[in-house]
Amino acid sequence: MKVEISRLYIGIFLLVISYGKAMGQEERPGLYKRFMNGKLMQSKLVQKFISTEKDSSRSAGFVVLPLLGYAPETGLEYGLSGIYNFYLDKQDTLIRTSSLVLQGSFTTKHQTNLKFTSDIWTRGNNFHFLSELRYKDFPFNFYGLGKDTWKADKDSLTQRLFRFKWEGEKKIVPHYYAGIGVLYEHHRYRDEAIGGIYDRIPLYGRNGGKYLSFGISQAYDTRNSNLYTTKGYFARLVVHYTPDFWGKENFHGTNAEIDLRAFYPLTEKLTLGLQATYSEYFGDTPFYLLPQLGSDETMRGYYPGRYRDKLLVTSQAELRYRIHPRIGFAAFAGGGSVYHQKFDFSSLKPSYGGGLRYFFDLEHNSSVRIDYGVGEKRPGEPRQTAFYLSLGEAF
What per-residue confidence (pLDDT) applies to 345? 83
User: What gap in Å lies between CA 22 and CA 27, rounded to an integer?
Assistant: 10
Q: How many Å apart are CA 83 and CA 151, to the nearest integer?
A: 35
Specify the pTM. 0.84
Residues 270 and 320: beta-carbon distance below 8 Å: yes
Beta carbons within 10 angstroms of residue 335's beta carbon: 17
pLDDT of residue 30: 53
DSSP 260-282: EEEEEESSSSEEEEEEEEEEEEE
Burial class (CB in 10 A: 0-12, 13-18, 19+), 44: exposed
CA 259 from chain centre, in angstroms, equals: 16
Residues 141, 144, 147, 149, CA torsion sign: negative
- What's residue 37's pLDDT? 58
Start-to-end CA span in the chain (Å) = 42
Q: Which residues contact 369 (CB under 8 A, 6 or more apart)?
A: 355, 356, 357, 388, 389, 390, 391, 392, 393, 394
CA dihedral 265, 260, 353, 348 (to 10 degrees): 140
Question: Minimal CA–CA distance to 106: which of 76, 82, 139, 81?
Answer: 76
Q: Where are the domains of the chain?
A: 58-391
Q: What is the pLDDT of residue 115?
A: 98
d(CA 255, CA 159): 22
Residues pairing with 320 in the sheet = 271, 330
Cα–Cα nearest to 81, from 66, 98, 68:
66
pLDDT of residue 53: 73
**CA-atom Rg of the chain in angstroms:** 24
- Which amino acid would we find at residue 36? M
Separation of CA 272 from chain center:
22
- Rounded CA-CA distance 352/368 in Å is 19
Q: How far is Cα of residue 347 from the mean position of the Cα atoms in its chain?
A: 27
Output the furthest CA–CA distance in the chain (Å, rounded): 83
Residue by residue, pLDDT tens for the chain (395 residues) are 333 333 333 333 333 323 333 333 333 445 445 545 555 555 555 665 677 777 668 899 999 999 988 888 899 999 999 999 999 999 999 999 999 999 999 999 999 999 999 999 999 999 999 999 999 999 999 999 999 999 999 999 999 999 999 999 999 999 999 999 999 999 999 998 888 999 999 999 999 999 999 999 999 999 999 999 999 999 999 999 999 999 999 999 999 999 999 999 999 999 999 999 999 999 899 999 999 999 999 999 999 999 999 999 999 999 999 999 999 999 999 999 999 988 888 889 999 999 999 999 999 999 999 999 999 999 999 999 999 999 999 99
Q: Cβ of 194: how many Cβ atoms within 10 Å? A: 8
Smallest CA-to-CA distance from 79 within 1, 22, 138 is with 138
For residue 255, report the phi and psi dihedrals to the nearest 5 degrees: -140, 150
**pLDDT for residue 342:** 80
The fold for domain 58-391 equals Porin (2.40.160)
Which neighbouring-strand residues pair with 255? 240, 281
The DSSP-derived string for 289-325 is GS-BS--SSSSTTS-TTSSB-SEEEEEEEEEEEEEET
Cβ 368 vs Cβ 63: under 8 Å: yes
